[in-house]
Amino acid sequence: MSEIKKIKNLKEFSTSSDRFEGANLLCPGCAHSIIVREVLNATNDDLILAASTGCLEVCTAVYPYTSWDASWIHIGFENGSTAVAGAEAMYKALKNKGRLKQPDRKPKFVAFGGDGATYDIGFQWISGCFERGHDMMYVCLDNEVYANTGGQRSSSTPIGSSTTTAPAGRTSYGEKKNKKDMLAIMAAHGAPYVAQVSPSKWKDMVAKIQKGFAAEGPVFINAISPCTTEWKFAPEDTIAITDLATDSLVFPLYEIIDGTELNITYRPKNIIPVRDYLGAQGRFKHLFTKQYEYLIDEWQTRVDAKWEQLQRREEARV
């Protein structure tokens, strides 16, 4: 087991050795780059990385440039998980055969994918990797929409959000389906560690990433990634929006160990109304009308119920 990197404060953390360069094409205010840096900076170990097709991929490896100072691979939209799983299998093979070039160093294997690549098109590949138990971490950059292709709905898109394929209009309030509970599904695979993280709660995030790296086997991290372009807020408000998501409990921060042991890792001192979270984003603008205001109340009820359920599970240790 490699040593866990000690991180004292944010200043030190933000200036840690950077294996993801600031030189990339992501939108100003994009949370993806913040999340990726926090994941990579949580360890000093070598990294073998993969990305599924999406914003992160198209913005960080445009020939002849690369933003990655660690080995990185992209194949397609659905198979970032399996790409890194294949590399992990090769690591095991070469280790067994004594052919590793740096036999004393054990790299970490990490795949990144957006919610489209995770909840939808790449779901089977991720499930396969987790069932087989590859020693890898999968990080979902969850911006609740196909942002790279211009804002189409995914199965992570929440009710009432307006997207280009489920737009709000005279007879529709936008997305009709509730967001898929991906964390529960991944926990049900019996993964040693799954967790939800927020880039704004960096200490909580680093602790979880380090727990994930310390675990043997497949680890799933679902990171909320507010999208300035598709959620429609000002680029400088990314962290504020992220805080609204965690403090309204729309995006609760918790972990599940070995598929059963659930721990809530962040309890807001002041829980703010869901209305405040929704009201800060253009994608929910149409809900603030007489016609659709009932949906905001339904949102609050749903968030309260989920929070209640999480607390009960934590208490019951099941």
Neighbours of 101 (CB within 10 A): 6
Region from 66-74, 173-181, 216-224, 276-284 binding other proteins, contact rule CB under 8 A: 66-74
**Closer CB to other proteins, 109 or 233, in the complex:** 109
Contact between 68 and other proteins by CB under 8 A: the answer reads yes
How many residues make contact with other proteins (CB under 8 A)?
Answer: 48
Contact 162, 283 (CB under 8 A): yes
Please name the residues in contact with 62: beta carbons below 8 A apart, sequence gap of 6 or more: 25
DSSP assigned state of 265: -
State yes or no: residue 298 binds other proteins (CB under 8 A).
no
> Does residue 312 touch other proteins according to CB under 8 A?
no
By the rule CB under 8 A, 240 interacts with other proteins: no
Contact 219, 255 (CB under 8 A): no
Measured from the CB atom, the residue of 61 and 257 that comes closer to other proteins is 61
Residue 82: exposed, middle, or buried by beta-carbon count in 10 A (0-12, 13-18, 19+)? Answer: buried
Q: Least distance from C-beta 135 to other proteins, angstroms?
A: 12
Q: Which is nearer to other proteins, 68 or 119 (CB)?
A: 68
Instruction: Output the CA–CA distances (angstroms, integers) from residue 33 to 21, 51, 96, 132, 226, in the order listed.
Output: 9, 13, 35, 29, 11
Restricted to residues 71-110, the positions that interact with other proteins (CB under 8 A) are 71-76, 78-79, 82-94, 96-97, 99-102, 105, 107
Residue 150 binds other proteins (CB under 8 A): no
Q: List CB contacts of 195: < 8 A, sequence separation 6 or more.
A: 183, 208, 211, 212, 220, 221, 222, 253, 254, 255, 256, 265
> Is residue 128 at the binding interface for other proteins, with CB under 8 A as the rule?
yes
Q: Please say whether the dihedral angle defined by the alpha carbons of residues 93, 94, 97 and 103, taken in this order, is positive or negative.
A: negative
Min dist CB 149 to other proteins, Å, is 14
Determine if 176 is a binding residue for other proteins (CB under 8 A).
Answer: no
The footprint of other proteins (CB under 8 A) covers 46, 48, 50, 57-58, 61-64, 66, 68-76, 78-79, 82-94, 96-97, 99-102, 105, 107, 124-125, 127-128, 131-132
